[in-house]
Amino acid sequence: MAENREKLVPEIRFKGFTDAWVQRKLGDVANVFDGVHQTPKYSDSGIKFVSVENIRNLTGTNKFITVEDYNSQFNNKAEIGDIFMTRITAGIIGETAIVESDEDFAYYVSLALIKLRDGMSSEFINYCINANSFKNELNKRIIHTAFPKKINLNEIGKCGVIYPSVIEQQKIGSFFRTLDKAITLYRRKLGFLQVIKNGYLQQMFPQPGESVPKLRFSDFSDTWVRRELHEVVDFFNEKRIPIDAALRTFGEYPYYGSTGIIDYVHSYIFDGEYVLLAEDGANIINRSSPIAYLTQGKFWVNNHAHIMRMKNGDNRFLLQLLEKQNYVSLNTGTAQPKLNGEVVKKMMLVFPQKEEQTAIGTFFSALDNAITLHKRKLEFLHELKNGYLQRMFPRLMEH
């Protein structure tokens, strides 16, 4: 490995390539510009305007500026093969997107436009910017005292890049582009499945004030019955035991909190199938992640999740029923959102017969399994890409 760093060659490379790579500053192989410094005048039509928020969706942006603004303020127009990079943002500095359309784009000062010189591959440099070597250089030059944080335009060109022959550049760029296409495909599939599930949740459960759903399996026609949750569910909150993080002994059993599994411990206090509902946390209001969880087998749970199971029903149905509820009006917290135990027990919900519960629970369980599978595949592809980014680009040599 030490020899590889000295000769500027990557740990992994395609067969047939043996020459050492070249290290230069980005400014030696590209010109770097930024966009308009004045707030643009938006219009219903005109030139598409690109900012940090839509850098990843250049063809789908619906922001426009007037033609007059574009012609007077943009001398450095974005062209096919140029690279947009975020440089002023509350998010991640160094996010990139390659311009792949010949339509006119206007862009804001929060973006840098990188125009490569001859002999450089846009795809290669795009992934080079995403490798750790360049990111580390970039992070050293970020001004962290400002909000949003930023990197000055003239500092971007000072960051080092390492590159091989243009043929090897193209091969590496094509390899990562294939990985990105797979990531995009699974992200779209995951999004589609989540939309499908949300649609079925609305259709297969009665609307507020109603007692039958709009969509149901053909074998069922009975009216759903309104019940307070404690009438159909047994609660086990009194058996919960929190363990401070410093006192936990790592083991094989899941340790649950309000956000699902938060650790693994050496012992368990529950064994079987239960439904957990978050007791506190911002997610009760913003619902950016699941609020209810199904457990199976041995586990431990702290005092930040209500624990329950159906008395004579299907726990998988209960999981979906709890997940689709709006808890804003039930919030009793002040410093942070909270679902009080007594409030939860008195929630008025509608339940079908057990057989229909089972059919609904089975249906959504299959959907959830497909969603989980796509999430894991997406995580795997991201890890694979990040691993290759670190091993297929040499580290920068210190000067």
Mapping DSSP to helix (H, G, I), strand (E, B) and coil, where does residue 27 land? helix
pLDDT at 129: 93
- Distance between CA 153 and CA 255 in Å, rounded? 47
pTM of the model: 0.82
* Structure confidence by residue, pLDDT tens digits, 275-300: 999 999 999 999 989 999 999 999 99
- Distance between CA 94 and CA 92 in Å, rounded? 6
pLDDT at 70: 67
- Distance between CA 259 and CA 282 in Å, rounded? 10
Quote the strand ranges of 311-392, DSSP E. 348-351
Query: How many residues make up the chain in this entry?
Result: 399
pLDDT at 2: 40
Split at pLDDT 50, 70, 90, the class of 195 is: very high
Phi and psi at residue 286, in whole multiples of 5°? -85, -20
Which helix (H) or strand (E) segment holds residue 5: the answer is helix 2-7
Other Cβ atoms less than 10 A from the Cβ of 79: the count is 13
For residue 292, with 0-12 CB atoms within 10 Å meaning exposed, 13-18 middle and 19 or more buried, which class applies? buried
Strand order in the sheet with 270-271: 260-265, 253-257, 298-301, 270-271
- Distance between CA 372 and CA 29 in Å, rounded? 43
How much is the average pLDDT of 240-261? 95
Cβ partners under 8 Å of residue 267, min gap 6: 249, 251, 253, 300
Of residues 67 and 31, more confidently modeled: 31
For residue 148, whether the previous peptide bond is cis, meaning omega lies within 30 degrees of 0, is yes
Split at pLDDT 50, 70, 90, the class of 5 is: very low
- Distance between CA 356 and CA 362 in Å, rounded? 10
pLDDT at 354: 97
- Distance between CA 285 and CA 292 in Å, rounded? 13
Instruction: Report which of 179, 143, 138 is spatially closest to residue 158, judged by C-alpha positions.
Output: 138
Query: Are 127 and 389 within 8 A, CB to CB?
Result: yes
pLDDT at 119: 86
- Give all domains of the chain, ordered by start, each with its CATH number: 1-16+166-209+353-399 (1.10.287.1120), 22-163 (3.90.220.20), 225-351 (3.90.220.20)
Split at pLDDT 50, 70, 90, the class of 1 is: very low
How much is the average pLDDT of 248-270? 96
Query: Are 19 and 165 within 8 A, CB to CB?
Result: yes
- Distance between CA 190 and CA 13 in Å, rounded? 32
One DSSP character per residue, 218-241 reads TT--PPPEEEEHHHHEEE-GGG--
**Bridge partner list, 349:** 227
Q: What percentage of the chain has pLDDT greater than the value 90? A: 75
Is pLDDT of 151 > 50?
A: yes
Query: Are 346 and 393 within 8 A, CB to CB?
Result: no
Alpha carbons within 13 angstroms on the beta-carbon side of residue 137 total 22
Query: Are 121 and 176 within 8 A, CB to CB?
Result: no
- Which residue, chain included where needed, has tokens 């230069």? 24
The mean predicted confidence, pLDDT, of the chain is: 91
**Bridge partner list, 149:** 89
**Bridge partner list, 113:** 33, 84
pLDDT at 57: 77
Is pLDDT of 39 > 90?
A: no
pLDDT at 105: 84
Q: Give CA angle at 161 (156, 163), nearest 5°.
A: 150
Split at pLDDT 50, 70, 90, the class of 125 is: very high
* Structure confidence by residue, pLDDT tens digits, 48-91: 888 888 887 776 766 777 766 666 667 788 899 999 999 999 88
Other Cβ atoms less than 10 A from the Cβ of 170: the count is 14
Cβ partners under 8 Å of residue 218, min gap 6: none
* Structure confidence by residue, pLDDT tens digits, 12-28: 999 999 999 999 999 99
pLDDT at 23: 93
* Structure confidence by residue, pLDDT tens digits, 326-381: 999 999 988 899 999 999 999 999 999 999 999 999 999 999 999 999 999 999 99
pLDDT at 147: 83
Q: How far is CA 397 from CA 18, 39, 237, in A?
A: 18, 40, 58
